[in-house]
C-alpha cells in the first residue's frame, strides 16, 4: 500500500500546475535570513523542495579518497538522530515522503517530495538527515557494496570508459579528472570518520540555494526553513579549486581497446561559461550543429545521409571551473574515422559560414516553444528554479529567457561559431577497435531528404 501511495504521489507530481510565463516566483527570506524561491501552487497537493550546495561536490573529495561526496550523499537518508536506517526509511514511507541526495563534480543536492499535509514531518526528517546523520557501520558497508557494484558494471561499459578517459586527459592533475563515484581502490578506503568530516565541512547555509513549489505560503515556509536548515554552519570549509581549460589534445585520438563490433566515441573542447554574454548565441549554434536531434547538422550528415553512426549529438556543460563542449557518437569500428572527419568538416563549415536564416528560425521556434515543457510539474518547476539560482540568472529569467533566444542574430551565431568551434583542437577518446586512419567522407545517399524534426529534449536553462 505504501508503495502504491508513492507511485500515486509521483503521478500527481506530473500534473501540469501552471504555465511558465504565469508563474509568480516569490523570494522568501526566513526570520533567520535563509532565502528560498517559492512558487505557491495549491491546485496540486504535492510539495517539492530542491536544495543545492554549490562547490560542495566531488571536487572536494579528500586526496586518495575519491568518491567520498558520492558515498556520503547516498547515505544521508540511511538513518539520522534516533532513527537507524530501517526506522528512517519506515518514517519516510509512512507519510509517502521521498528524500534523496546526490553529488556531481561541483555540487551536492537534495530533493524532498511530500504531500502538503505531511510537510511538517517531511521537513523534520530532512532536518535530521542534515544535522544528525548517523553513518552507521551497517549502512556504510551496504552503501559501499552498492557503489562497488556500480563501478564494476561501469568498468566495461563503453560509454562510461570513454568518459573516464576523456576527463582524465582533459584535466590532468585537476579534481575534474577523477570519477565522481571514485574507484574500487579509493572507495574501499573511505571510513566513517571521512564521511562525518566531509559532511561537517561542506554542508552549510552560505553556499545553499533552495527552491520550493507546492501548497505552502511564504509565511508558512519561512519558519520551516529556519527549523530545517538553521543548525547548519554559516559557511562551508571548502578547499579552493582552480579554474582550468581543456588540455591540448594528443596528435591522435585516445583509444581504450575493447573487443566490440562498434566503438563509443567522445569528443570535446573548452566551452563557454553560462555567464558569458555569448552563451545564448552559442546555445542556438549548438542546437543547429548537434543539439537538435534529427534536425541537427551532425545527425543529418553523419547518420541520415551516410549511415555512419547510430546517433550523434553535442552539448555545453557549464561546470563551475571548466566549461566544456562535448559530443558523442556510436559507430562500427571501420567507420569511426569517417564519422570524426565529417564531424570536423561540419564544425569547420559552421565556423566559416555560420548558419542559414531557415536554421536560425527553426531553432528559435523549437527552443522557445519547448521551454514551457520544463515546467510541466511541481518537480520540474523546482528543478528549473534551482538551476536558475545556481547559475545566477536572476529571478526574472523565466520571463526573459525566450526573448533572449529571439534576440539571437545570424551575425551572433557566426561570431560565436568562429570563436568556439576548433575542429583541430578536439580531444577525442574512443572505446573499441576504431579505425581512425580512414578519414575519407563517403558521398551522401542518393535522394536523401531532410529528416523530420526531433522530439523535445531536456534543456539546461
**The pLDDT value given to residue 21:** 58
Does any domain span residue 247? no
**The pLDDT value given to residue 23:** 85
**The pLDDT value given to residue 5:** 38
* Cα torsion 13, 15, 18, 21: sign: positive
**The pLDDT value given to residue 391:** 97
Does the pTM surpass 0.85? The reply is: yes
Contact 88, 79 (CB under 8 A): yes
Q: State whether residue 102 is helix, strand or coil.
A: strand
**The pLDDT value given to residue 447:** 63
420 and 278 both lie in a single domain = yes
**The pLDDT value given to residue 446:** 81
Distance CA 96, CA 1 (A): 10
**The pLDDT value given to residue 104:** 98
364 and 425 both lie in a single domain = yes
C-alpha distance from residue 201 to each of 137, 195, 247, 358 (Å): 21, 10, 31, 52
59 and 179 both lie in a single domain = yes
User: Residue 138 contacts by C-beta under 8 Å, 6 or more apart in sequence?
Assistant: 85
Does any domain span residue 452? no
Does any domain span residue 155? yes
218 and 263 both lie in a single domain = no
261 and 222 both lie in a single domain = no
221 and 268 both lie in a single domain = no
282 and 365 both lie in a single domain = yes
Does any domain span residue 378? yes
**The pLDDT value given to residue 460:** 39
**Number of compact structural domains in the chain:** 2
Does any domain span residue 242? no
287 and 211 both lie in a single domain = no
190 and 292 both lie in a single domain = no
180 and 258 both lie in a single domain = no
Does any domain span residue 441? no
**The pLDDT value given to residue 22:** 66
And the C-alpha cell for 188? 574501499
Residue 206 dihedral angles phi and psi, to the nearest 5°: -70, -25
Does any domain span residue 457? no
- As a whole number of Å, the CA-based R_g of the chain is 23
Q: Which domain holds residue 87?
A: 2-229
304 and 225 both lie in a single domain = no
Regions in the chain scoring below 70 on pLDDT: 1-22, 447-461
User: Residue 289 contacts by C-beta under 8 Å, 6 or more apart in sequence?
Assistant: 296, 297, 298, 314, 346, 347, 350, 421
Does any domain span residue 456? no
**The pLDDT value given to residue 456:** 34
11 and 84 both lie in a single domain = yes
What's 73's domain CATH number? 3.30.830.10
pLDDT in tens, 45-73: 999 999 999 999 999 999 999 999 999 99
Amino acid at each position: 500500500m505504501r508503495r502504491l501511495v508513492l507511485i500515486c504521489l509521483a503521478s500527481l507530481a506530473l500534473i501540469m500546475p501552471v504555465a511558465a510565463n504565469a508563474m509568480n516566483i516569490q523570494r522568501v527570506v526566513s526570520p533567520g535570513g535563509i532565502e528560498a524561491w517559492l512558487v505557491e501552487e495549491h491546485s496540486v497537493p504535492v510539495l517539492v523542495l530542491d536544495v543545492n550546495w554549490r562547490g560542495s561536490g566531488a571536487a572536494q573529495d579528500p586526496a586518495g579518497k575519491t568518491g567520498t561526496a558520492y558515498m556520503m550523499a547516498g547515505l544521508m537518508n540511511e538513518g539520522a538522530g534516533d532513527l537507524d536506517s530501517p526506522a528512517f526509511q519506515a518514517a519516510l514511507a509512512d507519510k509517502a515522503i521521498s528524500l534523496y541526495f546526490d553529488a556531481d563534480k561541483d555540487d551536492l543536492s537534495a530533493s524532498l517530495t511530500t504531500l502538503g499535509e505531511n510537510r511538517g514531518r517531511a521537513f523534520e526528517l530532512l532536518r535530521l538527515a542534515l544535522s544528525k546523520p548517523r553513518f552507521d557501520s551497517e549502512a556504510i558497508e551496504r552503501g559501499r557494496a552498492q557503489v562497488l557494484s556500480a563501478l564494476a558494471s561501469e568498468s566495461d561499459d563503453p560509454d562510461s570508459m570513454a568518459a573516464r578517459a576523456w576527463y582524465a586527459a582533459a584535466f590532468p592533475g585537476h579534481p575534474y579528472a577523477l570519477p565522481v563515484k571514485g574507484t574500487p581502490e579509493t572507495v574501499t578506503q573511505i571510513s566513517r570518520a571521512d564521511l562525518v568530516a566531509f559532511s561537517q565541512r561542506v554542508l552549510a547555509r552560505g553556499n545553499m540555494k533552495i527552491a520550493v513549489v507546492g501548497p505552502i505560503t511564504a509565511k508558512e515556509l519561512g519558519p520551516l526553513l529556519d527549523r530545517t536548515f538553521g543548525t547548519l554552519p554559516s559557511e562551508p570549509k571548502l578547499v579552493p579549486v582552480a579554474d582550468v581549460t581543456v588540455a591540448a589534445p594528443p596528435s591522435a585520438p585516445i583509444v581504450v581497446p575493447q573487443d566490440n563490433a562498434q566503438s563509443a566515441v567522445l569528443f570535446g573542447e573548452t566551452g563557454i561559461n553560462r555567464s558569458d554574454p555569448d552563451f545564448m548565441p552559442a546555445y542556438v549554434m549548438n542546437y543547429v550543429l548537434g543539439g537538435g536531434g534529427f534536425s541537427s547538422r551532425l545527425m543529418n550528415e553523419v547518420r541520415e545521409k551516410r549511415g555512419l553512426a547510430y546517433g550523434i549529438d553535442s552539448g555545453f556543460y557549464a561546470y563551475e571551473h571548466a566549461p566544456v563542449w562535448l559530443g558523442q557518437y556510436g559507430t562500427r569500428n571501420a567507420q569511426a574515422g569517417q564519422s570524426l572527419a565529417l564531424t570536423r568538416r561540419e564544425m569547420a563549415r559552421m565556423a566559416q559560414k555560420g548558419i542559414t536564416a531557415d536554421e536560425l528560425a527553426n531553432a528559435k521556434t523549437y527552443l522557445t516553444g519547448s521551454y514551457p515543457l520544463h515546467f510541466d510539474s511541481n518537480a520540474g518547476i523546482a528543478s528549473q528554479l534551482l538551476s536558475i539560482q545556481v547559475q545566477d540568472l536572476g529571478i526574472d529569467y523565466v520571463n526573459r529567457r525566450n526573448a533572449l533566444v529571439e534576440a539571437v542574430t545570424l551575425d551572433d551565431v557566426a561570431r560565436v561559431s568562429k570563436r568556439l568551434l576548433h575542429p583541430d583542437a578536439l580531444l577525442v577518446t574512443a572505446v573499441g577497435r576504431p579505425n581512425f586512419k580512414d578519414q575519407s567522407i563517403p558521398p551522401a545517399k542518393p535522394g536523401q531528404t531532410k529528416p523530420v524534426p526531433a522530439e523535445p529534449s531536456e534543456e539546461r536553462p
